[in-house]
A and B are shown apart, each in its own frame.
Chain A
């Protein structure tokens, strides 16, 4: 699984970073981006789905 945060949609709600800090980080303005090219280790796939399902802006998607 690979995930991607669309920087045009992200408004800095910070849900993904709070729920899955292994997969997402935030910059100095509080906007999120994916870590490790978005590659999700098998054991963190549930966490990735949780982060996706909690983004108010629908900014995170599974890219492959």
Chain B
């Protein structure tokens, strides 16, 4: 959604709307103003009632409190689950384990964890280096590139296609599914959307069948062999999990890579330090994750209760802005400043508590490799002021266009 369905925001403390393009574009100013105005938890009547807590303490507390807050829907929508007859109830939710609560959550998560453990992910590095170099080769010998459109957005789709054992040449269509499923929230269930959904269903189902007929060493075959409660996953469960991995892994990592490159395009000193000292890249990536954390999750209030002096009602939405927690001066020295060599950095970019992003090791590797290769090939670049940098709308924040002038190539 490029425009909010609720009209312009009049007051961010009492009428906020994270779906307004103004939110992501001015996010730090909005949070700073709310906190300075004595409002660490803002409210809106939009979306049927929603809260926006801004301190690390509150975000941490809600993430840990699965008794009062459910993960049944982690993306705020116009309709509450009670208004959607086919909604799958807690503790399972529509896309386990991200939408699951205890006790179901831990079993659904445990079966996926081994596929994303560091020692499984780390060996993918060489393949990622190759992919990133090929993307730059494909740009040709030009002095103007868009680092979001021509680079950042392709990396996670290629990686997830490779992991799931889907043809790399089809990777671009996954991004269309993300747009359809996330951007389509609130969209009418028109025939066009249903037809697209059917095509996606057919595509994934055909590849699942192919993996049943011809098992191989990839994540789809891993899922088909995985068990929950002593039984193999049904092809339908495998379908849902593949879709979750595609959707959760794409625009998030794309945003993380994009924000990092945007920072380096606008901060020449940091860029030069990383070009000269590539061994500083891992620490810099952690700082980019802190300062430009792409993901905000959501919870639903289970029952009426009081939270830090406000009265929360059953089925109110609660945003979990991990990016705001990452700017809390009680946790981080000088949080508004990006120090690429920041040492103490307990940032919450991948969430806190039992729902820690399962793909965090993969995302970190993609960001490290993407930045390393980009700086090696393009040691000097800057924003091309003739065109506009644009930012995403909604709960995943990152640049969607990063027009660059390439000054030096290697």
A50 touches B343 (CB 8 A): yes
Q: Does B48 contact A (CB under 8 A)?
A: no
If the complex has contacts A14-B361, A18-B282, A29-B110, are A56 and B352 also in contact, measured as CB distance less than 8 A? Answer: yes
- Residue-wise, chain B 73-114 has the 8 Å CB interface mask toward A (1 for contact) of 000000000000000000000000000000000000010011
Given A13-B360, A30-B117, A30-B118, A53:B344 Cβ within 8 A: yes
Q: Is the CB of A13 within 8 A of B344?
A: no
CB pair A30 B350 closer than 8 Å:
no
The 0/1 profile, CB within 8 Å of A marked 1, for residues 342-368 of chain B is 011111101011101000110000000
A9→B116 CA distance, assembly (Å): 19
A55 B117 Cβ-Cβ under 8 A: no
Contact between chains at B356 and A11 (CB < 8 Å): yes
Instruction: Please name all residues of chain A whose beta carbon is closer than 8 Å to the beta carbon of B113 when the two chains form the complex.
Output: 12, 28-30
Which one, A12, A30, A56, contacts B347 given CB within 8 A? Answer: A56
Q: Taking A29-B110, A53-B346, A56-B347 as contacts, is the C-beta distance between A11 and B354 under 8 angstroms?
A: yes
A26's closest neighbor in chain B, by CB? B118
In this complex, how many residues of chain B approach chain A with their Cβ under 8 Å: the count is 22
A28 CA to B222 CA in the complex, in Å?
15
Residues on A with C-beta less than 8 A from B353 are: 11, 57
- Residues from chain A with Cβ under 8 Å of B346 in the complex: 53-56, 58
Contacts of A12 in B (CB 8 A): 113, 117, 356, 360
**Shortest distance between the CB of B330 and any CB in chain A (Å):** 13
State whether the Cβ of B286 lies closer than 8 Å to any Cβ in chain A. yes
Tell me if B119 is interfacial: C-beta within 8 Å of chain A. Answer: yes
Whether B360 contacts A26 by the Cβ 8 Å rule is: no
The residues in B between 336 and 390 inclusive whose CB is less than 8 angstroms from any CB of A are 343-348, 350, 352-354, 356, 360-361
Whether A33 is near chain B, meaning CB under 8 Å from some CB there, is no
- 21 residue pairs A–B, Cβ–Cβ below 8 Å: A11-B356, A13-B360, A14-B118, A14-B361, A18-B118, A26-B118, A26-B119, A28-B113, A28-B114, A28-B117, A29-B110, A29-B113, A29-B114, A29-B117, A50-B343, A53-B346, A54-B286, A54-B344, A54-B345, A57-B352, A57-B353
B contact residues around A11 at 8 Å (CB): 352-354, 356
* Bound Cα distance from A12 to B282, whole angstroms: 18
Among residues of A, the one whose C-beta sits closest to the C-beta of B64 is A57
A8 to B187, CA, bound (A): 41
Instruction: Give the docked Cα–Cα distance between A50 and B348 (Å).
Output: 16
Cα distance A7–B116 in the bound complex, in angstroms: 18
Instruction: Chain A residues near B360: list those with CB within 8 A.
Output: 12-14
Q: Which residues of B contact A30 (CB under 8 A)?
A: 113, 116-118, 361
Give Cα distance in the complex from A30 to B346, angstroms.
Answer: 18
How far apart are A48's CB and chain B's nearest CB, in angstroms?
Answer: 13
Considering the complex, give the chain B residue whose CB is closest to the CB of A56: B346
Main secondary structure of the interface of B (DSSP, over half): helix
For B286, the chain A residues whose CB sits under 8 A away are 54
Instruction: State the Cβ distance, B105 to closest chain A Cβ, in Å.
Output: 12
Task: Give chain B interface residues in 274-302, CB to chain A under 8 Å.
Answer: 282, 286
Interface residues of A in 1-18 (CB under 8 A from B): 11-14, 17-18
Closest to A11 in B: B356
Give the most central of B282, B344, B346, B353: most A CB within 10 Å.
B346
Residue of B113, B116, B118 with most partner-chain A CB within 10 A = B118
Closest to A58 in B: B346
Query: How many Å lie between the Cα of A14 and that of B344 in the bound state?
Result: 15
Q: Mark B230-254, 1 if CB is under 8 A from A, else 0.
A: 0000000000000000000000000
Give complex CA distance A29, B347 in Å.
Answer: 21
Q: Which chain A residues numbered 44 to 61 have a C-beta less than 8 Å away from chain B?
A: 50, 53-58
Shortest CB distance B341–A (Å): 12
Q: Write out the residue numbers on chain A whose beta carbons fall within 8 Å of the beta carbon of B348.
A: 56
* A40-B117 Cα distance, complex, nearest whole Å: 25
Q: Min CB distance, B288 to chain A, in Å?
A: 15
Known: A29-B114, A30-B116, A30-B118. A53 touches B356 (CB 8 A): no
- Residues from chain B with a CB closer than 8 A to the CB of A57 are 352-353
Task: Give A30 to B116 CA distance when docked, in angstroms.
Answer: 8
A residues within 8 A CB of B282?
A: 18
